[in-house]
Homo-oligomer: A and B are copies of this chain.
């Protein structure tokens, strides 16, 4: 399907109105998350790279115009002004991997109004989802406290494409690998995997299954030991490792039951068999809460595989994100709907030590010592820099996490830092609100 027509119909009707009314002046839209979901002390900016790819390629072709016309039940000629429209605007954005908080723009698009409007839906669909999953995955990394994590989510993500996106953002926050072969290749992530219960069941016995697997796969192997009886499975695995002279680099995987208790018994059994080098990998419905509990309990688990709950960001599967017009033709604008008040004007986020953030205007002076989060990443529709590397994003994530207050890092009941508005942004908000209230009849009290 065309990326251009993968959009909400109203983007098309609005863009057409703008073109017909000759409203092509520059507009700035701000993409931000209104509030963090419960259980999140921070968000990890993600999705910018594919968003820039999309904008770079964006061009309304003839077949797109025909598709729009069909959707609107109008002749294609009516939509002729859209033909050939591409994105030649500017994007300022928070680089991937950086932490962001409520109300902080993840990106701002400045372009002729029809263009800036048309790209809304696709940008939101990329950035919201990837930021949601990256933020969940980041909490797993914190819970793991240095232990390697692997993404096993592909089978439960919202379709195979979402699985690729999940693999990428998990690597972005420091996962050691993914089970997703195509994503591993595409994003340069180590591929990882063991065996399924079906493998064990397909043989006459667990031992035969393990031996066949080792025969086929020279070098270190990992055996899944919980198909029938986990303790016996560990003993069987140990016997096969010993018989075949395997050890370093090998592992066993526990996928059900009381993982902590089973890991303790498995460790003891492996050690007793002289297999101190055989690692224990845990999986099975884990997310940051499960990993955190096992780590705190001192479970002898060497690596964690997380899947379903992380790949779907199950406890917060969407973000309350918006793409709001904040300036048109040099005029700051805002919305007054109750509970959906937006602040006017292009913005910048100034980060102080300990993630004490000030949301200010893009053109205001940087406070002493503050780190501005939004960078210009696209100008005239072209990237200003070569594509970002996952390793660079990971380094930014690690640096930001190191500066995050303890309360925001917490797994249970985290408390996110709350950014404040700069004096200039507050003043502009007041001015614009009064201007709109005068125009719309005045006298209405706006919360906040």
A337 touches B227 (CB 8 A): yes
Size of interface on A: residues with Cβ below 8 Å to B? 113
Bits for A1-43, please: 1 = Cβ < 8 Å to B, else 0: 1110111111111101110110100010100000000000000
Among listed A137-145, A160-168, A346-354, interface-contacting one = A160-168
- Complex Cα distance, B162 from A191, in Å, reads 24
Nearest B residue to A214 by beta-carbon distance? Answer: B17
The reply on A378 being an interface residue by CB < 8 A is no
Interface contact B158-A165, CB-CB below 8 Å: yes
Given A161-B162, A193-B8, A212-B21, answer yes or no on A334-B201 (Cβ-Cβ < 8 Å).
yes
Could you tell me if B124 and A185 are in contact, using CB atoms closer than 8 angstroms? no
Contact with B along A206-229 (1 / 0, CB 8 A): 100000110111000000001111
Decide: A158 and B155 in contact? CB cutoff 8 A.
Answer: no
Determine whether the beta carbon of A125 is less than 8 Å from that of B228: no
A121 at the interface (CB under 8 A from B): yes
List, in ascending order, chain B residues with CB within 8 A of A338's CB: 256-257
Chain B residue contacts of A154, Cβ below 8 A = 6-8, 121, 125
A199-B6 contact given A124-B156, A182-B67, A308-B318, CB 8 Å threshold: no
Residue of B nearest to A204 (CB): B439
Contact A152 B1 (CB under 8 A): no
Copies of this protein, total: 2
Closest to A314 in B: B317
**What residues on B are CB-neighbors of A317 within 8 Å?**
158, 312-314, 317
Interface string of A306-348 (1 = CB under 8 A from B): 0011001110011101011100100001111111100000000
Question: Shortest Cβ distance from A216 into chain B, in angstroms?
Answer: 4
Contacts of A318 in B (CB 8 A): 156, 308-309, 312, 314
Query: Are B10 and A194 closer than 8 Å at their CB atoms?
Result: yes
| Contact residues in B for A436 (Cβ distance below 8 Å) | 228
Of the candidates A133, A160, A183, A228, the one having the most CB atoms from chain B within 10 angstroms of its own CB is A160
Partner of A159, one of B14, B125, B325: B125
Say how far A346's CB is from chain B's closest CB, in angstroms: 14
Known contacts A318-B312, A318-B314; A164/B128 CB under 8 A:
no
* In the bound complex, CA of A215 to CA of B17 (Å): 8
A71-B181, A335-B201 known; A125-B340 Cβ under 8 A: no
Check B181 against A68 for contact (C-beta < 8 Å): yes
CA distance A122 to B335 in the complex (A): 43
5 contacts between A and B (CB under 8 A): A8-B154, A14-B195, A17-B199, A17-B213, A128-B155
A residues neighboring B (CB under 8 Å):
1-3, 5-14, 16-18, 20-21, 23, 27, 29, 67-68, 70-72, 113, 117, 120-122, 124-126, 128-130, 133, 152, 154-165, 179-186, 191-199, 201-202, 204-206, 212-213, 215-217, 226-230, 232, 255-257, 308-309, 312-314, 317-319, 321, 323-325, 328, 333-340, 436, 439-441, 444
